[in-house]
A and B are shown apart, each in its own frame.
Chain A
Amino acid sequence: MVSRILLADADAFYVAIARMVDPDGAGKAPLLIVGGTRESRGVVCSASYETRKFGVRSAMPISRALRLCPDAMCVPVPRGACSRMHREIRAVLDRFSPVVESASIDEWYMDLAGTEALYHNEPLSVTARRIRDAVAEATGLSVSIGGGTSKLVAKLAVERAKPKPGTGATGVHVVEPGQEAEFLATFALADLPLVGPKFQERLARLGMKTVRDVLPYDAATLSRWLGDREGEWLYERVRGIDRSEVESRGDAKSISRDETFAEDIKSDDELHHELLTLVTRAASDLRADGMTARTITVRIRDFDFRTRSASRTLPRGVIADRVIHGVAKGLLAKLRSSRRVPARLLGVALSSLAADPDADQLALFEAAASGEEETARDRALVRAVDKLRERFGAEGIAMGRTRNDE
């Protein structure tokens, strides 16, 4: 069965929602940066098309963005509204496709393989357009849709679909089966996902800058030059071959939470305090998804933008804040002992996720909590806490040390 993959990408998602929640402020500012206030030390999460002309890009520190575009209005990320709209868009997509994968807050892959008869054998681009209209009608947000026989082609096609001024694009771009190679040949290697600056340099040294430059070489030659893995990978990608499948929700790979601080944090105590907050949030998301995590990763970005991370994999999946926090604390201590400099960002990621088969199994012995072993008591405790949070909100109850007593 040939894959019929679509990628729906919400157009200027954060900007659109910031305008939606504040129609009189952000809604009326053409120069808009979402990510934090003018004084904050966050990074640009998204910027309106108008500010992009000044060179403002996502992931750029807000302070730098403001030097490029001093008149821009800066607003914090409307997180609650963003996750709500993410779910609303997803709900529309679920009506059209049996398999929907949330690739990020504003991107969703769908695989419509097997739905041909359902849609009366209409071309995929026609279905895509109906999906686009349905999203706009239900949510008031606009999505662009790229399509093709692989996730790679869909990802590249969506860039061609975005209705940016002057491109003549209409919001949908579907590459017909058999046309992949021809389509790919119009791209530079830098446009391909996962071809970063370092890889680009290596390829440039071999005389390859565009997809067309790579096509004359067979897999064996590329493997000789780049090593087996990268060589084969590139050989397939430039031909539009990508075997990764669209994975629906249950297959989420990780759950992560991070925080960019308003001011760099120097003290270990304060970092540990932030860590507990992040763990509490990530672990609660984990449980809400009915999953357990075996791998715990702590990521820290130092004042000079150097990003470091450390992770540990446990013998079995866990869900309890106490256990996750215990491991995360050790990882943070390790990262701090190797480089104790002011930190601008701290993050916690939970991965190696699996469904939690013991979620509802009651235990005979309520063992006391100890070390990294998660006990029935730990599990019962966090579930009780989750119930309280459902009633009183996330702030209703917190672990003793996350409360700011000072």
Chain B
Amino acid sequence: MRFTITREKLQEGLSAVTASIPAKTTLPVLANLLVETTERGIRLSGTDLDIAVSTEVIADVDSQGAITIPAKKLAEIARELPSAPVRVSATGEQRVTLECGKTRFRLLGLPKDEFPSFPSVRFSESWRVRSGDLQKLISHTAFAASTEESRPILNGVLWEMRPGHMRMVATNGHRLAKIELPLESVGAPSADLIVPPKALEQIRRLFAAEEDLEIARGDNHLGFRSPFTAVFTRLIEGPYPNYEQVIPRDNERVAVADRNALFQALKRMSIIASDQTHRIRLAFNAGMVKFSVQTPDLGEAQDELSVSYEGDPLEIGFNASYLLEILRYMPTDEVRMTFKAPERAATVEPMGWSDPAKYLCLVMPLRLVD
């Protein structure tokens, strides 16, 4: 195997792939990148067995071949090389030489046969989605997935493909984010996929907004690809909880508030809120919400904010960090909140979003103890 590549192209390929290399692994080959020659140049691939990323960059190939190279060292070398063409050649299965100007490195790799093969997915039956649309879905929901191990299904983001729309939902059991985007057609039949947020983060990072992606599933995997780059991820199995059932339909108390002002007030209150529960109290009255927080052994704080509010007065408790997080992802200057009762789910939605997407967040209150 022998090829020549510019330092910039090498770095471009590496930056796409190295994020998928596990920091610690018991399987030595996973610390390596697979480098293969192709018709257009070279393909770099890395995986932690949950997620696999592969990308093709342009290079001049003199002779075909494949080898695996320690990913971290290759990235460090690429960073320090002068800006000049890099000649890479492999002798046998395990030795690779990099030359750039007068600099010369020799690295020990591992045979390509040790590198795990990528999951097979049937791209012949694929959905077609614009990367930008997918990014919008991911960035408004992935934050809400659970990070605790007690309920693995909630560690994933539910992605529903339907004729005419697609939808993403994530929740940790206490708060939930849901976004729905109308589409003319996605190509393949309806499906419910539960995807690890880590994989979605790679998708968001790797593909340019205007790219069209082909998405297809294998037995237990999902693949995404554009002409140069492909991402594969394990899917989480199991039925996702029935989220439709918990979305309130009859919340008749409605408040509309300035998102930024609300965010700032909550941030101030959360300074005094308990580190454990983040408990704050909101009291809604005509035209006004009063915030208060009382933490034993620490102190108390109050604040208030003008809002438009319809409905009977309401006192309700929340984990301030859940509200802050939701507000951070709200895309509009004003937000609309609805409530039913102190121990029922509240909703938060953008007000006057010009986007065709429909976005809704839910948050369960904290019981107020007096």
Q: Which residues of A contact B (CB under 8 A)?
A: 315-316, 355, 357-365, 367, 373, 376
Contact = CB atoms under 8 A, between A and B. Distances in A.
B367 to A, nearest CB: 4
A360 B364 CA distance: 10
Contacts of B175: 364
A367 B174 CA distance: 13
Interface in B264-283: 274, 276-277, 279
Interface of B: 148-151, 171, 173-176, 241-243, 246, 274, 276-277, 279, 317, 319, 343, 345, 362, 364-369
Given A360-B277, A364-B345, A376-B173, A316 B148 contact: yes
Nearest to B344: A362
Nearest to B363: A364
B364 A364 contact: yes
A310 to B, nearest CB: 23
Contacts, number: 52
A362 B343 CA distance: 7
Given A365-B173, A376-B173, A360 B150 contact: no
Contacts of B176: 364
B171 A361 contact: no
A357 B241 contact: no
Nearest to B365: A362
Contacts of A363: 173-174, 364
A361 B319 contact: yes
Q: Which 6 A-B pairs have the closest CB atoms?
A: A360-B367, A357-B276, A362-B364, A365-B241, A364-B246, A360-B366
Contacts of A315: 149-150
B246 A360 contact: no
A290 to B, nearest CB: 10
Nearest to B171: A364
A379 to B, nearest CB: 11
Contacts of B149: 315
Residue in B150, B173, B365 with the greatest tally of chain A CB atoms within 10 Å? B173
B244 to A, nearest CB: 12
Contacts of A360: 277, 279, 317, 366-369
Nearest to A376: B173
B287 to A, nearest CB: 27
Nearest to B148: A316
A361 B277 contact: yes
A276 B150 CA distance: 25
A362 B276 contact: no
A376 to B, nearest CB: 7
A328 B369 CA distance: 32
Contact of B366 (A362, A365, A367, A376): A362
Most buried by B among A362, A364, A365, A367: A364
